Structures are given as C-alpha cells and as structure tokens.
Chains A and B, each alone.
Chain A
Amino acid sequence: MTDNPAPLKFHVPEPEVRPGGTPDFSNVPIPKAGSVDRPPVDVDPRTIRDLAYSIIRVLNREGDAVGPWAGTLTDEEQLEGLRHMMTLRTFDARMQMAQRQGKTSFYMQHMGEEAVSCAFRKALVQGDMNFPTYRQAGLLIAGGYPMVDMMNQIYSNEMDPLKGRQLPIMYSAKDHGFFSISGNLTTQYIQAVGWAMASAIKGDTKIAVGWVGDGATAESDFHAALVFASTYRAPVVLNVVNNQWAISTFQGIARGGSGTFAARGLGFGIPALRVDGNDYLAVHAVAKWAAERARSNLGPTLVEYVTYRVGAHSTSDDPSAYRPKTESDAWPLGDPVIRLKNHLIRRGLWSDERHKQTEAEILEAVISAQKEAESHGTLHAGGKPSTRDMFEGVYAEMPPHLRRQRQKAGV
C-alpha cells in the first residue's frame, strides 16, 4: 500500500454529445450486413458468445438482403411487413396529433422502432403470449388487432375495452397474445418467464415473450427474470429494445461497464444475440431463431435490438433539452421503413409511386378508424365509460365494502 494514495474518483457516464453539439456515432461499431454466422438453434450456447457483442444484419447499405440470416420471409410477407410499419407510423402521427388537440391526455410514439415489434410478431403463432412494454404496439398492428379498439382505449371512450380505467396506450388484448400493460417498468419480464414455465408445466407448445427497454433492464425484475428463465429453462424469448435513451438518460447509465445489453444474458447461461433493430428482415430472422429454440425445449434466448428512439419519450417530453436535435439523422442504422422500402424497390417488388399510393391508403384507413372511434367519444367529450365501471372488476365479486362505496358515489 502506498503512503499517499490518490483520492478516489467518482465516475458518472455521460453521452458523447449534448444539445448544441454535433451528433457523432462514429464510436458505435456497425458490422457489415451478412457478416455474422447463423448457428443452428441447438448450438452449444458457450460457442456463440461473440453473437452478444456483434450485430446481426441482413439489409446492406445498397438495400440487398445478404448473408446467412436472409431469406426467412416470402415477398408477400415482406410487402405486408412494410405496410405494418407504415401503418404504425401513421397511427402514431394521428394519435400524437389527437393528444395535441386535447382529445386524449397522453401518447407515446414508436418512431424509428417500428421494425422491432412489427417483424417480431410475424415469428409467433396464435396462442403465444407477449408481455410488452408501452412501446410495442406493432405487435397489435401486425397481429391484426383493430385500430379502432386501440383508439377507443386511447380516448377512454364508451367503447374503451378497458372501461376508462387505464392510461392511454396501456392496451390489453389476450386473444391477440398481448398481455395487459402496466405502468410499472419491467414487472412483466418475470411474468413472461412465469407464463412460459406454466406452458412447460402443462406440456403445452406455446411460448412467451418478454419485452423491456434499455433503461428498464436496470430494474431488479430483469435480473429475476433471467435467473428464473435460466434455472427452469423456460420457453421464453427475452427481448431488450435498446433505443439508446430512457427518457433523458442515455443507455450507458443502465448498461454500465457491460459491453452490450445482450452480454447480460451470458452470465446466466442464456444464449444472447444482438440484432439491427432497424432491419425488418434481420429482426424477423432472429425472432424466428429464438422462437424456434424456445419451442424446441432448448430454453430461453436473450435478444438485444439495436435501434434509436427518434421521437420524444412521450407527449410530455422534449428531447431537445438533453440531446442534439438532429441526432436521429446521424443514427447509422437509418430508418426501418425506408430501408425495407428501398430493398423492395431494388427487387422490383415496389416503387415510389406504389409507396406514395399506399401511404395515402393507410392514412385514409387510419382517419376512418379515428372517425369511428371519435364517434364513441374522446377523453373530454362525447360518450364515456360509466362511473359504475370504476367499481367493477377490482375483485371477481364485489365485496360489501365496495358495494357500500358504490352506493355512496350514487351509482
């Protein structure tokens, strides 16, 4: 020991750039599309540890689908995928505007992250269960859940499937494999593992999917989920959507000294993959691989989707207070919609004209859904759920004390 040790230094990670600075992602290594191997699903997890530190990519800069992860989707499925992402983006834009018009209290967009939930949904089958966060509405859009019902929930109107009890976008859609969203972060991650354990206990063939953002991986529930998934080899896919930001906090605060979020899985003996979250084809290929592993009794997989949160955190947030305004333009993985569009055009399956025409069709469909939803009321106008609904559903049967309170409320 030295006689005069240097004073200890306290370390607080900071993002490379703040407002006023020039966006710079040159320190983010982006492997070439097609450069990462595709192992068989029954691979010994210890031999693919490098996949937790790389990025699986299919679409290259020119818009070609290349490498061993390409080819999991038919042309029609790819065209459908583009339509899903475009629909989610238009839906977001309209609901964002509806919030600004005072038709609802709150909204959260998916801008830039559309590929993650839209492509993942296509790797699942009826009966599988997602345990989503508030930023995976693509699971509903791509799963065919009616937009009107989503809007009814957002407006808390008389047709709201959740009777006005929940904050906007906290959807619940059991038949569509979409677990009830909670405001409490990461709670659903361990619940997904429990659901998967139940499926295995009953000898079922269904799998579960847990979803979490980069910031919320710091919650204790994330750790518990990984332990339980590992211990019981639960048929679950554990997704981490790394969009670089948790409200104003850059991902380095949650990630700490760990190389990647995917690498967190390795310590639990869970195979971990990292994928280009803005590459629809890569997301689907990885989702399919992980789902197949789960369905084949090979246990859990952790997947990190590398993407960027282009929009504000929510309608209550202003990102210009903590990051450069043009940061999303500098994001090296681009825009998921444009990248799939360019790929389809390059293959002669799509054109700018058809894209524009489809955009108009989608806008029309979203507006039409919006009109229908608004005919049932918005937050402060028109039809709304009854006050009686407030007292229902706390328990299967209303206990005497709640019945007395309901009478007191005059309903």
Chain B
Amino acid sequence: MPRMTMIEAIRSAMDVSMGRDDDVVVFGEDVGYFGGVFRCTQGLQQKYGRSRCFDAPISELGIVGAAIGMASYGLKPCIEIQFADYVYPAYDQIVSEAARLRYRSNGEFTCPIVIRMPTGGGIFGGQTHSQSPEALFTHVSGLKVVVPSNPLDAKGLLIASIEDPDPVIFLEPKRLYNGPFDGHHDRPVTAWSKHELGEVPEGHFTVPLGKAEIRRPGSAVTVLAYGTMVYVAQAAAEETGIDAEVIDLRTLLPLDVETIVASVKKTRRCVVVHEATLTSGFGAELVSLVQENCFYHLEAPVARVTGWDTPYPHAQEWDYFPGPKRVGEALIETMEA
C-alpha cells in the first residue's frame, strides 16, 4: 500500500472525489494554479481544469457564500480557508446560512459543502496561524465538525465529508501535515512514511463520520483527544507508565458518545485534552457528557488539559501548547485523586 503524508492523503481524497463525481468543485485562495500554500490541491487544476479547481479572491465570506449558492444549485463544493484563524469573516455565512438552509427551507435547499481549514498550533504560528476554533462550530446546530489525526483517517474522513449531504467543517491539524507530533519539540520529527497510519489506499474508501477510534487501549484512565493531542496523550501515557486508554474522537459533531461512555465506565477516570482555550472550549461539553453519563462510575474529577485562556503567543509557544509533561501531570493527579 502506498505511503502518504497527511497533505498527500487530503489531496488524494479530493482527487478521488473529483474523479468520481463531476459535481465536486474545489476552490479557495491560492488553491488553483499554485496548488495551495500547503500543497493540498497541487495538480488538481491541471487534471480537472479551471472550472473544477480554481483560485478565489481573498474573501472568506465570498468563498463560503458562493459555495452555499453552488450547493443550492446542486454542486458539492469542497472549499479551503487558508487558516482556521481566518474563517471569522465567513462565520455569518456558515452559522446563519450553511448550517440552517436545510432546516429553514424544509429540505427544499440543502448545503452539501466541505470547508477545509488548517488548524492548531505547535508551529510558531503566533496569534493568527495557530488557533483551534472548533468550539465555535460545535455549538452550531446543522454543522458537522471533523478533525483527523493521521493520513489514513484524513483521506477516509474527507471523502466521507464530501459525500455527506450536510455542511462539514473539516479542521486539518497543520502540525500533523508532514508527520505525527507528540509535543517533544526538541526531538527530531518523524515522517508519516515511518508510521502505520501513513499507509493509505490509492482509491476510494471512507471513514464514517460520528465514530471515534481507540488509539491506545488501556484500563486506568480514559483520555479524550483529537488532532495533534492524540499523539501528546499517547506520549504522556508511555512516559508516566499510566495505562491510559486514548480515544481519538475524529468527529466532534455528531459525537460518538457510546465509545466515550463505554471507556469511562471501564476506566472510571477521564482526562480531556485539547489545544484550544479552556473556557467554553469543546472540553467543557465532553466533561459535561461524561459527568451526566458516568457519574456513578467516576472515581476522580474529570480533568482538562488545554491551551490557556490567552491569545496564542509566539515566543511562549511551548509554555502555551499543552505538551506531554502537562498531560502527564494531569494523568498522575487523576490517578491519585
């Protein structure tokens, strides 16, 4: 089986989808001729032509708004916002329009669009190339929110998202584009070619939305994570020797509550980790769900390890990023509680 980076897997997903369905169109800033600032759309314009893959003006609301119009015509736009940090000008179109079109028109008009956007920190991206805005989308009825953590899932989830009849926010952790990252920034980075999840089938396959995956089976504590934090959590488990069960949520909305609840009922402890800021972050929803569903099984308070409630800083990158040390401390505290 071929080895792919996450970038190649994402590109392959769009290639496969465009090849199978003429209604799939791809556009965004620098997405056409140049192939994207992260190379995710390289070669697609050459292969499918300018009417299927094209450059857009620098207008996030324009990109999303036009895609909604296209979707209401019957196309399946898979569009790109260059950085998740720049999605806010399109927020009205996403929340008020894409998410509600099916509901408010009683199904007359639908919005099968995918909005891809690189997300997350750990790359010295500073305030506007590092944010994790997933909670701003998981709060919106009508959206689906997906965060892959490896090339295999990235391709399968993206194809599933493109084929999904509802609007999908597809957040790509750019720190994982070229290889897994466990937060040890002082160590050399490994490439996806050395990782089993870098093995990705060439052709069509899907990974279903709404299904979590257990990355590290364990019995002592459940760690709920997604994106880059999956690898940080795994590293923290190995380094502390705590037999943590690491769950990669993959889809945040709709959420795989069953897998979460079954795991926490087994381990009786839970730690939630994400890069995004703490207050009203997606972790709060996870903690609340665990509390509601597993109260009588819990032997310790549910802990959260997240980014601090500050804008994402530049020089203080590794004091901000919730690395394996901080996650490990939370695991120890939760085991000792």
Contact = CB atoms under 8 A, between A and B. Distances in A.
Is B a genuine binding partner of A? yes
Interface of A: 129, 131, 161-163, 165-166, 170, 172-174, 179-180, 182-184, 187, 189-202, 208, 220-221, 223-225, 227-228, 231, 393-396, 399-401
Given A179-B109, A393-B106, A401-B255, A201 B66 contact: no
Interface in B43-83: 51-52, 56-57, 59, 61-62, 65-75
A208 B69 contact: yes
B165 to A, nearest CB: 4
Contact of A190 (B62, B96, B104, B110): B62
Contact of B25 (A183, A201, A221): A201
A315 B88 CA distance: 33
Contacts of A225: 62, 65
A190 B103 CA distance: 20
A93 B104 CA distance: 26
A399 B254 contact: yes
A194 B67 contact: yes
B171 to A, nearest CB: 19
Given A194-B70, A228-B57, A187 B107 contact: no
Most buried by B among A173, A193, A200: A193
B75 A401 contact: no
Contacts of A196: 69
A182 B109 CA distance: 12
16 contacts: A162-B104, A165-B106, A180-B109, A190-B66, A191-B97, A193-B65, A194-B65, A194-B70, A197-B66, A201-B75, A202-B74, A228-B57, A228-B59, A393-B102, A395-B144, A396-B166
B68 A194 contact: yes
B101 interface: yes
Given A191-B97, A199-B73, A227-B59, A180 B67 contact: no
Given A165-B103, A220-B61, A198 B96 contact: no
B141 interface: yes
Interface in B250-280: 254-255, 257-258
Contacts of B96: 182-184, 187
B108 A180 contact: yes
Interface in B102-149: 102-110, 141-142, 144
Given A228-B57, A394-B141, A395-B166, A193 B108 contact: no
Contact of A172 (B56, B68, B105, B165): B105
A198 B69 contact: yes
Contact of B57 (A161, A163, A220, A231): A231
Given A197-B70, A228-B66, A174 B108 contact: yes
A182 B95 CA distance: 12
Contacts of B109: 172, 174, 179-180
A184 B91 CA distance: 12
Contact of B165 (A191, A198, A396, A400): A396
Interface in B174-201: none
B127 to A, nearest CB: 22
B62 A228 contact: yes
B93 interface: yes
B67 A227 contact: no
Contacts of B102: 393-396
Contacts of A166: 104
B92 interface: yes
Contact of B65 (A129, A190, A401): A190
Nearest to A162: B106
Given A191-B97, A393-B106, A198 B73 contact: yes
A149 B275 CA distance: 50
A170 to B, nearest CB: 7
Contacts of B59: 223-224, 227-228
Contacts of B72: 129, 179, 191, 194-195
A220 B105 CA distance: 24
B97 A193 contact: no
Contact of B101 (A180, A195, A197, A198): A180
Contacts of B107: 393
Contacts of B57: 224, 227-228, 231
A191 B61 contact: no
Contact of A163 (B61, B89, B106, B142): B106
A234 to B, nearest CB: 9
A19 to B, nearest CB: 34
B65 A187 contact: yes
A129 B106 CA distance: 18
Sorted nearest first, the 7 A-B pairs with minimum C-beta distance are: A194-B69, A190-B65, A194-B66, A224-B62, A191-B69, A180-B105, A198-B73
Contacts of A393: 102-103, 106-107
A40 B334 CA distance: 77
B210 interface: yes
